[in-house]
């Protein structure tokens, strides 16, 4: 199995890449939950319970699609790189990517300026 670092450098979205993303994001301060979906919105790896993860994935994936549609309608046509929804108690970051979408739930009080890569 190739080392995760070389895979990340090549940008391949395989299982080790997913594991690495999962591990690195959970290590950051303030992060409560993480959910990784494949390109059709099915949760692949999550730190929440399955039921909750499914709910989050379904609802936020829907929202992300609507945002992408809005950006595509604008002049000039843009692509969504990042979506951030902040609420009273926490903040949800959604990063659509080539083949995966990463959803991170983090604590609202603990904001560090770490853009999720």
Partner 1 sequence: MSRMSRISTIDQPEQPKLPPIAKKTVARARSYDDDAFIKLFDHRGGRDIIIMDNNGLPLRSTSSQRRTIFLVGNLKPLLFMARNVVRDLDPSNDITFMRIRSNIGEVHMTLGSEFILIVVQRFKKKFGNTEA
- Give the distance, in angstroms, between the CA of residue 34 and the centroid of all CA atoms in the same chain: 7
From 28-36, 37-45, 93-101, span contacting partner 1 (CB under 8 A): 93-101
Query: Cα(first)–Cα(last) distance of the chain, in Å?
Result: 23
Closer residue to partner 1 (CB): 3 or 89: 89
Query: What does the block give as tokens for 3?
Result: 């080392």
- The reply to whether 67 sits near partner 1 by the rule CB under 8 A is yes
Please list the residues that pair with 106 across neighbouring strands.
Answer: 31, 91
- Contacts with partner 1: how many residues (CB under 8 A)? 35
Q: How far is the CB of 106 from partner 1 (least distance, A)?
A: 13
Query: What does the block give as tokens for 79?
Result: 């692509």
- The reply to whether 8 sits near partner 1 by the rule CB under 8 A is yes
- The reply to whether 39 sits near partner 1 by the rule CB under 8 A is no
User: For residues 57 and 90, what is the distance between their CA atoms, to the nearest angstrom?
Assistant: 16
- The reply to whether 6 sits near partner 1 by the rule CB under 8 A is no
Inter-residue contact 96 to 110 (CB < 8 Å): no
- The reply to whether 117 sits near partner 1 by the rule CB under 8 A is yes
User: For residues 60 and 29, what is the distance between their CA atoms, to the nearest angstrom?
Assistant: 23
Chain residues in the site for partner 1 (CB under 8 A): 8, 11, 17, 21, 55-56, 59-60, 62-63, 66-67, 70-71, 73, 76, 78-90, 95, 97-98, 115-117
């Amino acid at each position: 199995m190739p080392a995760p670092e070389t895979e990340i450098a090549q940008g391949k979205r395989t299982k080790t890449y997913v594991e690495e993303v999962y591990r690195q994001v959970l290590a950051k301060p303030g992060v409560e939950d993480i959910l990784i979906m494949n390109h059709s919105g099915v949760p692949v790896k999550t730190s929440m319970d399955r039921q909750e993860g499914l709910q989050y994935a379904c609802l936020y994936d829907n929202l992300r699609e609507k945002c992408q549609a809005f950006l595509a309608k604008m002049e000039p046509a843009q692509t969504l790189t990042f979506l951030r929804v902040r609420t009273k108690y926490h903040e949800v970051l959604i990063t659509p990517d080539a083949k995966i979408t990463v959803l991170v739930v983090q604590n609202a009080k603990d904001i560090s300026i770490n853009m999720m890569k």
